[in-house]
Amino acid sequence: MRERLLEGVPRQGVILLSALLAVLLLVPAVASDYLLTVGILILYFAYVGQAWNLMMGYAGQLSLGHALYVGLGAYAAAALYVHFGVTPWIGLWAGMAIAAAAGGGIGYLAFRFGVAGVYFAILTIAFAEFARLGFDHWPWVGGSAGLFLPVANFANNDLVNLRGSPTMFYYVMLTMTAAAFVLCHALLRSRAGYYWLAIRESPEAAQALGVDLFRYRMYVVVLSAAMTSLGGVVFAFYYNNLFPEQVFHISRSIELILAPIIGGIGTLFGPLIGAFLLTTLAEALGEAVRAVGIDVPGVKQVFYGVCLLLVVMFLPDGVWPPLAKALKLDRRSADRSSER
């Protein structure tokens, strides 16, 4: 299994990944509480970005409503915990099942009725907005007043109920991000992975070669939805409060897809590097405007928007592809070392 997973990965890549993992494992030992929370955010965006990337980057289905799956996972696990005391380790299965069903439902409707491209993107927004308004008027989950989890006791980490310190959440998120990375890597080398790439490049050609478009599109939507919902479960237990207005809002969906787009769509490293760059950029801008003394609401976001604008204008494929080329880690170098 290990041999298969490492097949075709250039040596530098293995070394770089091991070094990265070692650094990430050591972060809580040296980082302050503030840096640790930044680290959790980075890992969270890397994780959900990876899940979204699966659908858009590999299978070419542009979803602008992924906040729906985050929210369904978050609300399912949190509501089960608050109302019945069910541990999130069971609740997450409920969350994944509900999100997968929602993703499957949307995918079924879209792919059966031939809703594609911009229309598909807007359909996903519509369902997320529908859920936002629906949860706003659903008293059992707190409605617009929000759903609150009992606040964590930082003194002892309770992994069973996911109550504890940022350090615990950091390692939970790190595990999930690493697992998502390995899973996506393995998927890309599977039959389904190659089918997805074929569908992304040319649905007609893929279909002509006998790829069942409907079935493989459904697989990717359901998988991406289920993965994204897990991020939502951790989100709920980390922040301890959920408001439909915040969780399902379109700006959450946009925020979630920035990392893979800036990092490089359809690449494994894209979501990681994008999440790192964007989160540190946002934090650094916050620090900078405070230091200069122009900390007025809006300043930080204007700079952030300008940075986004510059990246999309000058790096159309994102940050990772040119960087990978420079480090000789890109696909072409990888293929060369594996072909021989």
Partner 1 sequence: MPASILVNVAVSGLLTGFIYGLMALGLSVIFGVVRVVNFAHGEMMTIAMYLAVVLFSAYHLDPLLMMLPIAAVLFALGYVMQRGLINPFIARPEHSQFMLLVAVALIIVNSLLLIFGPDARSVQTSYAYDSFQVGPIIIDATKLYAAAAAAAVAAGLFAFFRYSLTGKAIRACADNYQGALVVGLDVTRLYALTFGLGAACVGAAGCIMVLLLDVTPALGPSYTLLAFVVVITGGLGSMPGALLGGMLIGVTEALAGLLFTPSAKSMFAFGMLVLVLLFRPQGILGKSAS
- Residues lying near partner 1 in the complex (CB under 8 A): 56, 62, 64, 109, 113-115, 117-119, 121-123, 125-127, 129-130, 133-134, 136-137, 144, 250-251, 254, 257-258, 261, 265, 296-299, 301-302, 304-306, 308-309, 312-313, 316
Q: Residue 9 carries which side chain, given as an amino acid letter?
A: V
Residues 249, 296: Cα–Cα separation, whole Å: 24
Instruction: Tell the smallest beta-carbon distance from residue 176 to partner 1 (Å).
Output: 25
Cβ-based nearer residue to partner 1, 167 or 228: 228
Cβ-based nearer residue to partner 1, 163 or 252: 252
Give me the long-range contacts of 329-334 (CB less than 8 A, separation at least 24): 329/10, 329/12, 329/13, 329/16, 333/10, 334/8, 334/9, 334/10, 334/13
First to last CA, the chain: 22
Residues 141, 250: Cα–Cα separation, whole Å: 20
Cβ-based nearer residue to partner 1, 25 or 133: 133
Cβ-based nearer residue to partner 1, 119 or 154: 119
Instruction: Tell the smallest beta-carbon distance from residue 119 to partner 1 (Å).
Output: 6
Instruction: Tell the smallest beta-carbon distance from residue 65 to partner 1 (Å).
Output: 11
Residues 39, 126: Cα–Cα separation, whole Å: 32
Do residues 270 and 57 lie in contact, with contact meaning Cβ atoms separated by under 8 Å?
yes
Instruction: Tell the smallest beta-carbon distance from residue 197 to partner 1 (Å).
Output: 15
Do residues 236 and 74 lie in contact, with contact meaning Cβ atoms separated by under 8 Å?
yes
Instruction: Tell the smallest beta-carbon distance from residue 106 to partner 1 (Å).
Output: 9
Cβ-based nearer residue to partner 1, 9 or 254: 254
